[in-house]
Amino acid sequence: KNEVEQSPQNLTAQEGEFITINCSYSVGISALHWLQQHPGGGIVSLFMLSSGKKKHGRLIATINIQEKHSSLHITASHPRDSAVYICAVSLNAGGTSYGKLTFGQGTILTVHP
Amino acid sequence: KAGVTQTPRYLIKTRGQQVTLSCSPISGHRSVSWYQQTPGQGLQFLFEYFSETQRNKGNFPGRFSGRQFSNSRSEMNVSTLELGDSALYLCASSLTGTHTEAFFGQGTRLTVV
C-alpha cells in the first residue's frame, strides 16, 4: 500500500462545478503539499499545510491531522484548471526526510466548457 | 524574483553515454532536491543537497549522482545511461529543505535511445 493515496485518479467536470480531490496518508508527516502539473511538466506549488485550512482564490485546501486526510477543493471550476493535481507529504522522520517529498499518484482533472 | 531554472529542457542521449543536468534554485534557497518522474513509477526522490552536502538519498543506483556548488546551484549526473532512465527530471528548491515550501523547475526531459 502506498504511503500517500489520492482519489479519484481521474475526474471530469463541467465548467462551474465544485470539485474535490482527496488525499490520505498512512505515516507521520510534518507538512502536506498540494501541487499542480500542466502538460509540459512544470510543477507549481499550490499549498503547504500542517493544520487547518488555507484558501487562495478559488482553491481551498484542508487537512485533518487526526484522520490523516486532506482535501483540495476548486470552486467555480474553469477549463484552465485542467491539470494533474498531486498530493505530497514531508515525512516526520528526521534526517531521512530532509528535502524529500513522498507523492500520491496524482488526479487528472479535465474541465469541459 | 526568478524561479527555479533547469537546463537543458530536452535532451536525447544514446545508451551507455552519460549526462549532466543543471538546476539553479531561487536566490536564497539553500536546499535543492532532485526527482525522477516516469509514467510507471510516478515521482520518485533521487537526492537532496544543502550547503554543498548531500543530506538525503533515495533508492537509486550509484549511476545517479549529484553535487551542489557554493552558490547553491546543483547538478545531477547519470552515467552509463539505460533506456529506463528516460524520464522527466525535476528539481525543487526550498529555504531549508525541512518545513518549508518547495518550488519546482520546469524539468529536463531526457530520452535515452
E strands present in chain B: 5-7, 10-13, 19-24, 31-38, 42-50, 53-57, 64-68, 74-78, 87-94, 103-104, 108-112
B37:A41 CB<8 A? yes
Cell reading at A8: 479519484
Q: Which residue has the higher pLDDT, A26 or A93?
A: A26
Residue of B nearest to A99 (CA): B97
pLDDT at residue A2 greater than cutoff 90? no
CB-CB under 8 Å, A98 with B109: no
Q: With cut-offs at 50, 70 and 90, classify the pLDDT of residue B64.
A: very high
pLDDT over 80 (residue A3) = yes
Distance from CA of B50 to the nearest CA of A (A): 9
Segment A13-65, tens digit of pLDDT: 999 999 999 999 998 899 999 999 998 778 999 999 999 999 999 999 999 99
Task: Work out the pLDDT band at A99, boundaries 50, 70, 90.
Answer: confident
Please give the average per-residue pLDDT across B59-67, as a whole number: 97
The per-residue pLDDT for A95 is 67
pLDDT of residue B1: 63
Of A35, A55, A106, A72, give the one whose Cα is nearest residue B41. A106
| B23 pLDDT more than 70 | yes
Distance CA B23, CA B11 (A): 15
- DSSP helix/strand/coil, A28: coil
Q: What is the mean pLDDT of residues B97-110?
A: 91
Q: What confidence category does residue B40 fall into, taking pLDDT thresholds of 50, 70 and 90?
A: confident
The minimal CB distance from A99 to the residues B37, B97, B106 is found for B97
Average pLDDT over residues A75-82: 96
B25 DSSP assignment:
P
In terms of average pLDDT, the best of A2-6, A10-14, B97-101 is A10-14
**Least Cα separation, residue B57 to chain A (angstroms):** 8
The Cα–Cα gap between B98 and B8 comes to: 27
Q: What is the mean pLDDT of chain B?
A: 95
Region B81-110: mean pLDDT is 94
Of the partner residues B43, B56, B58, the one whose CB lies closest to the CB of residue A95: B56
> What is the nearest CA distance from B45 to chain A, expressed in angstroms?
6
Contacts of B93 (CB under 8 A, 6+ apart): B4, B23, B25, B26, B29, B31, B32, B33, B72, B102, B103
User: Which chain A residues touch B29 with a CB distance below 8 Å?
Assistant: none
C-alpha A90/C-alpha B28 separation (Å) is 21
